[in-house]
Amino acid sequence: MNSPPDSDGGSVRVDGRRLRSERTRQLIIEAYMALVRESSQVPTAVQIAERAGYSVRSIFERFPDMHALRVAVTDHAIAEGRNQGVLRDVDSDRMTRIRSHVEQRGHGCERWLPLWRVLATQNEESPELKKRIRMIRDLVRLRLELMFQPELTGTAEPLRRHTVIALETLTDFENWGRMREFYGLDFEQAALVWIRAIDQLLPPTPKPS
């Protein structure tokens, strides 16, 4: 007779604990990302713990090591990036598509460049991070192929592939960083460089039949 209420109460307790644990994980990930954005350096466990408001032990209760935390941060960034980077203006005219793509990519680079740099310098020894970097690049490439489908569809190989590669390397995270930091361009100026270059690199848009 007492068993059902107990088991119900137990579930609620377990769920509450799980929720709190998930929340702690989330706050640790967010602390990691905030520190990377501020300093562009790989944060230490002590710094992350202080920022998240937990003990260092709490971090290692949720993540077996710093590498596991980095992988979790990357997964979180990929998920957030996908949510924020919803495709827009896919069926619009050429210049609207180029502008829309550059604007989204520019904002994505602004937000994720510090984390990208940390990952890129840390991925050599980690197949998990390498896999995720490849996944991010594949997503960038797929988006380019979707946005510029009309121009790319009618282009024969290897020209099509070469165009996609040129577009992808041009619009890389680090190249955005270089325009902003090395050349001192503001967001609009950097976006304009990409808009012009993409327009020049893309084959002509086929006329609607």
Partner 1 sequence: MNARSTESVGPDAASPRVDGRRQRSERTKQLIVEAYLALLRENPSIPTATQIADRAGYSVRSVFEKFPDLLALRIAATDHAIAIGTTQAAPRYVEADRMTRIRSQVETRAETCETWLPLWRAVNANQGESVELKMRIRLMREAIRQRLELMYRPELEALKDPMRRSTMVALEVLTDFESWGRMREFYGLSIEESCAVWIRAIDRLLPKVPGTR
Binding site for partner 1 (CB under 8 A): 121, 124-125, 134, 137, 158-159, 162-163, 165-166, 168-170, 172, 174-175, 178-179, 182-183, 185, 189, 192-194, 196-197, 200-201
| Three-state SS annotation for 64-107 | CCHHHHHHHHHHHHHHHHHHHCCCCCCCCCHHHHHHHHHHHHHH
* Residue burial 38-55, b: 16+ Cβ < 10 Å; e: rest: eeeebbebebbbebbebe
The CA radius of gyration of the chain, in Å to the nearest whole number, is: 22
Closest distance to partner 1 from the beta carbon of 199 (Å): 10
Q: Which CB, 80 or 186, lies closer to partner 1?
A: 186
| CB closer to partner 1, 6 vs 124 | 124
Please enumerate in sequence order all residues whose Cβ is within 8 A of that of 162, keeping only pairs 6 or more positions apart, or say none.
Answer: none
Nearer to partner 1, 22 or 181 (CB): 181
User: CB of residue 166 vs partner 1: minimum separation in angstroms?
Assistant: 4
Nearer to partner 1, 66 or 185 (CB): 185
Q: Which is nearer to partner 1, 12 or 159 (CB)?
A: 159
Closest separation in Å from C-beta 97 to partner 1:
18
Taking the least distance from each CB to partner 1, the nearer of 7 and 39 is 39
Helices vs strands, H then E, count in the chain: 10, 0
| DSSP, res 113 | H
Q: Measure the CA–CA gap between 116 and 33, rounded to whole angstroms.
A: 11
* CA gap 94, 101 in Å, rounded: 11
Kindly state the smallest distance separating residue 3's Cβ from partner 1, in Å.
58
* Token output for 59: 């971090």
Alpha-carbon distance 8 to 128, whole Å? Answer: 39
User: Residue 175 CB, nearest distance to partner 1 (Å)?
Assistant: 4
At closest approach, how far in Å is the CB of 103 from partner 1?
Answer: 17
